Amino acid sequence: MGRSSELDGLTTLPELLTHSIRKWGDREALRQFDRSSSTWESWSYKELGEHVLEWRRAYSAMGLRPGDRIAILMPNGRDHVCADQAALANGLIPVPLHAIDTPGASAFIMIDSQACTLVTNKLSRWKQIRATGVQMPDLSTVLITDPGETEDHEDGRFHVKSLASVLELGKSVSADSLPAGPLEDDLAGIVYTSGTTGRPKGVMLTHRNIVSNVKATLECVSPREGDTFLSFLPLSHTFERTAGYYLALATGCVIAYNRSVLLLAEDLKVIRPTVIISVPRVYERIYARVQDKLRKSKPIARKLFDWAVEVGWRDFCRRNRLPVEESSRAWLDGIIRLTLVRRMADMLLSQFGGRLRIAISGGAALNHKVARAFCGLGLPIIQGYGMTEASPIIAGNCVEFNQPNTVGKPFCNVEVRLAEGNEIQIRGPSIMKGYWHRPADTAAAFTKDGWLHTGDVGEFNSDGMLCIKGRIKEIIVTSTGEKIPPADLESAIETDPLFEQCYVVGENRPYLTLITCVNKDEWARFAESLGLDPNDPQSLNNPAARTSALKRAKAAASDFPNYALPRAVLLTNEPWTIENGLITPTLKLKRGPLSNKFEAEIARVYATHG
């Protein structure tokens, strides 16, 4: 038995927290920066339990009953945990909203989920939603957690209440009168998919779904008691919710909350986490930062870094049954290992605070160059695979056996089969109950014999590791018949700091075209090096700029075959944001809207170049 046996007999999320409170009551549980005192403050597991009980009483005093949906629009932090844990323990159904989503999208989710209560940290957030003018017929109460809000008031038919007032109201509720708690088949959340196409759907996840995924994750990644997680992915993201929140609290770890994405680099060095849960973009940006630093150093510095990575990667490949790169200088590996690898590893690991032991990556494929550098220098990023509908993790590598060109082996309690077109189909206890109030969509999501469609194309290697080859609907098929998964190419190009965001097109075309939003600072240096004015919009269309940018893009993606490299490039400095509808709240490209936005430019490229 693996570590999941530690949680034997626990079937609901509130039980996971209660287990940890009993076992590690005095140990630090949550750490958060207090802006009023400019200090980091901590709660023990026992203190967290006391605060959750206060919230449970408040919810009961507000008249909330088991089965009610409660929308949570909050940044990561202690209040978010209390709002969620108290809701779960009272049998309510949390509906996490994306903290960076548009007000209209938040309103849509509250209407669709029929949420009766919204918990949010700022009155201004509620005012923005209210200003949309969208009718939310089921919503009646808005709870504001900001300590500066102390007055309750009416906003039309909505009751706006302060956290202080409802906590005071809750003091009149005895603990004995609180709901008994949920059953394992009760809903533990309605989590809305990002919606790269059409409206998002509410994924119904039960306590059994999520707890089974937490237990299975322990068989793959084993955090130690007292490990420190730095939480920065939004808790509306199921990956963070399961692996960076429920798993961490179930195993007696510390969760420290990032002050903001802009301060992530600083918080990594202040908190010095031992575990992080991230998406590839964060690792890619750190890699790009290191490359930028090397680019500005003497040429020998980059050569030494690359040599250290080369030696470390050979060692990593031997340990993990991967092909070992041949080199005429491999006979020097012992000397380089002793004199150079550790020094370069320290430079890379210092970006994370120097204590990082487990780095988990999910949500998209990790670029090979980035994986090679991190794994070669002693930080083997553990790549996994999942989807919201699976609570979310389906497969994962582990510290002991890690092949970064795969997403690892399927979890012990998840069955995986490859169906027509090598589509990955899954079943198991972590698979969703269905989509909220969408029986037709639920039926379409499953095969007739009960397997969930993932929409992903995959294959198994000789070691039984699952490899993701792309999305069925996103694989580009050029007019020459070549099949190219665009996301892999886009992430490779984004390792160059010039390219902030990338979108590749070429369906039924003779070659690929790269559309990229350039990084403001890097563009300024790049344009000036070509004698161009970076502030002149016409510089983006300059033939020399396009030619040089295309050369850099090809260099960043040099591991790809020639047919999979772009042959034309379009440059823009207008960021693709959630607000302008070009990316989702989980930062995935909305390919349909992007295609529409650049339709005329794309047509001109192919008309000009054939």
Which residue type occupies 30?
Answer: L
Question: pLDDT value at position 477?
Answer: 78
Helix (H) or strand (E) holding 550: helix 543-556
> Residue 187 domain-assigned?
no
The position carrying tokens 């001109």 is 604
Crossing angle of helices 342-349 and 299-319, in 10° steps, is 100
> Residue 329 domain-assigned?
no
Within 10 angstroms of residue 524's Cβ, the number of other Cβ atoms is 14
> The tokens of 512 are what?
């690929």
Burial bucket for residue 532 (CB in 10 Å: 0-12, 13-18, 19+): middle
Threshold 0.95, pTM exceeds: no
Best CA proximity match to 181, nearest among 64, 25, 13, 59 = 13
CB-based contact 480:507 (threshold 8 Å): no
Question: pLDDT value at position 4?
Answer: 64
> Residue 398 domain-assigned?
no
Domain count, the chain: 2
The position carrying tokens 């260099």 is 555
How many CA within 13 A on the CB side of residue 374?
31
| Domain residue limits at 524 | 476-609
Which residue type occupies 582?
Answer: L
Residue 589: CATH number of its domain: 3.30.300.30
Taking the C-alpha atoms of residue 515 and residue 509, their distance in angstroms, rounded to an integer, is 15
Task: Supply the DSSP symbol for 73.
Answer: E
Which residues of the chain have a pLDDT value below 50?
1, 196-197
> Residue 545 domain-assigned?
yes
Strand partners, 518: 499
> Residue 423 domain-assigned?
no
> Residue 283 domain-assigned?
no
Which residue type occupies 504?
Answer: V
Phi, psi at residue 339, to the nearest 5°? -100, -25
Beta-carbon contacts of residue 348 (< 8 Å; ≥ 6 apart):
286, 290, 373, 374, 377, 379
Helix (H, G, I), strand (E, B) or coil at 415: strand
> The tokens of 339 are what?
């004199």
Taking the C-alpha atoms of residue 609 and residue 600, their distance in angstroms, rounded to an integer, is 14
CB-based contact 484:564 (threshold 8 Å): yes
> For the chain, what is the largest distance between any 2 Cα atoms, rounded to a whole number of angstroms?
77
Residue 152: CATH number of its domain: 3.40.50.980
> Residue 200 domain-assigned?
no
Burial bucket for residue 359 (CB in 10 Å: 0-12, 13-18, 19+): buried
* CA 79 to each of CA 48, 72, 116, 324, 426: distance values in angstroms, whole numbers, following the listed order: 10, 10, 19, 49, 35
* CA 273 to each of CA 35, 229, 243: distance values in angstroms, whole numbers, following the listed order: 21, 6, 15
Within 10 angstroms of residue 484's Cβ, the number of other Cβ atoms is 21
Rg (CA), the chain: 25
Strands 39-44 and 28-34: what pairing? Answer: antiparallel
Q: Given 161, 191, 226, which residue is the final one in a domain?
A: 226
Strands 187-192 and 423-427: what pairing? Answer: unpaired
Q: Given 226, 242, 258, which residue is the final one in a domain?
A: 226
Question: pLDDT value at position 488?
Answer: 81
> Residue 93 domain-assigned?
yes
Question: pLDDT value at position 530?
Answer: 95
Best CA proximity match to 433, nearest among 602, 191, 598 = 191
